[in-house]
Amino acid sequence: MKFFLSIMIIISTVHFSFAGEKKLTIEDAWTRPVVLENRPSAVYFTINNEANEPDKLIKVVSALAKRIEMHTHKNQDGVMKMIQVKDIPVAANSKLKVEPGGYHLMVFGLSMKFSQGDEFPLVLKFANAGRVPVVAKVMKKAPTQMDHSNHMDHSKM
């Protein structure tokens, strides 16, 4: 029995390391309601990169949109301007907030309007983590940040 148990442990460990638990996840994805057709929309979320290497978001697609760009804001002579970027980098073992006033996704050519409570599915492509499907919830303002104090395993970092 003891032998059998240790075999089981080895198998599950191997399975774990090869199946590769997602080291990069997206939290609190949201977008604002779109009441006028053909108006661009913005999508926000938090990238949680638990991998030991940096990653970057390189492409975003959705079946419901013609084009999704990555943008950031830049202060130019006291004026905040929105500029397109090639990628959104996220450091190893860190979180990056894609939020109003900073990095965001800009969605063009939406095939539908969004009301509060709707869901907007999109696929984020990362250089290392690969494809990460995300469902952004349509809401009028940012979701309240989750209380992370109950993540006990962070204490070992």
Could you give the CA distance from residue 23 to residue 63 in angstroms, rounded to a whole number? Answer: 25
* Interface pick for Cu ion out of 14, 61, 82, 135 (rule CB under 5 A): 82
**Residue 85 in contact with Cu ion, rule: CB under 5 A:** no
Near Cu ion by CB under 5 A, which window of 60-68, 99-107, 111-119, 123-131? 99-107
Question: Minimal distance in Å, beta carbon 145 to Cu ion?
Answer: 22
Query: 14 or 82: whose CB is closer to Cu ion?
Result: 82
Phi, psi values for residue 2, rounded to 5°: -65, -40
Question: Minimal distance in Å, beta carbon 101 to Cu ion?
Answer: 11
DSSP 121: E
* Interface pick for Cu ion out of 51, 58, 64, 106 (rule CB under 5 A): 106
Question: Minimal distance in Å, beta carbon 32 to Cu ion?
Answer: 12
Assigned token pair, 156: 């070992």
Q: Which residues ranging from 18 to 57 are in contact with Cu ion (CB under 5 A)?
A: none
Hey, is 36 helix, strand or coil? coil
Under 8 Å between Cβ of 138 and 116:
yes
Q: Which residues ranging from 55 to 74 are in contact with Cu ion (CB under 5 A)?
A: 71
Under 8 Å between Cβ of 71 and 83:
yes
20: left (phi over 0), alpha (psi -120 to 50) or beta: left
Chain position whose Cβ is nearest to Cu ion: 71
Binding stretches for Cu ion (CB under 5 A)? 71, 82, 106
